[in-house]
């Protein structure tokens, strides 16, 4: 039985071994991609939202500058509020007492 198997394996040419290895590698590669997709799920791209605003034909340069200045002021105000909230959250985090592993271990 082993002799027949050895005879058949020795009859296979080297280019056939290369082809077999390439095909098995391709199958394993595709199977690993399916496994990774099953494991992590499909990563959908984040949606990109675009907002457009239409103005009337009689809008002047000064009005456009005023709108830009107001938007810049609101953006800076929002950034300041976000920075303040982040600082408060960090201060609250630092003020909390830290429990060590020795304190949480049960005492016998």
Q: How do residues 2-18 score in pLDDT, each as one tens digit?
A: 888 888 888 888 899 99
Regions of the chain with pLDDT less than 50: none
Backbone angles phi, psi at 96, to 5 degrees: -70, 140
In 3D, which of 80, 79, 54, 78 has the Cα closest to residue 67?
A: 54
Question: Distances from the Cα of 25 to the Cαs of 21, 22, 30, in angstroms?
Answer: 6, 5, 9
For residue 26, what pLDDT is reported? 98
Question: Distances from the Cα of 68 to the Cαs of 16, 61, 89, in angstroms?
Answer: 70, 11, 31
CB atoms under 10 Å from CB of 17, counted, come to: 11
């Amino acid at each position: 039985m082993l002799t027949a198997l050895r005879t058949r394996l020795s009859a296979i040419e080297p280019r056939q071994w290369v082809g077999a290895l390439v095909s098995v590698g391709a199958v394993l590669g595709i199977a690993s991609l399916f496994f990774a997709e099953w494991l992590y799920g499909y990563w959908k791209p984040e949606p990109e939202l675009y907002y457009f605003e239409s103005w009337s034909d009689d809008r002047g340069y000064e009005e456009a500058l005023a709108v830009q200045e107001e938007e810049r002021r609101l953006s800076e105000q929002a950034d300041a509020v976000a920075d303040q909230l982040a600082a408060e959250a960090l201060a609250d985090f630092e003020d909390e007492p830290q429990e060590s592993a020795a304190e949480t271990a049960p005492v016998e």
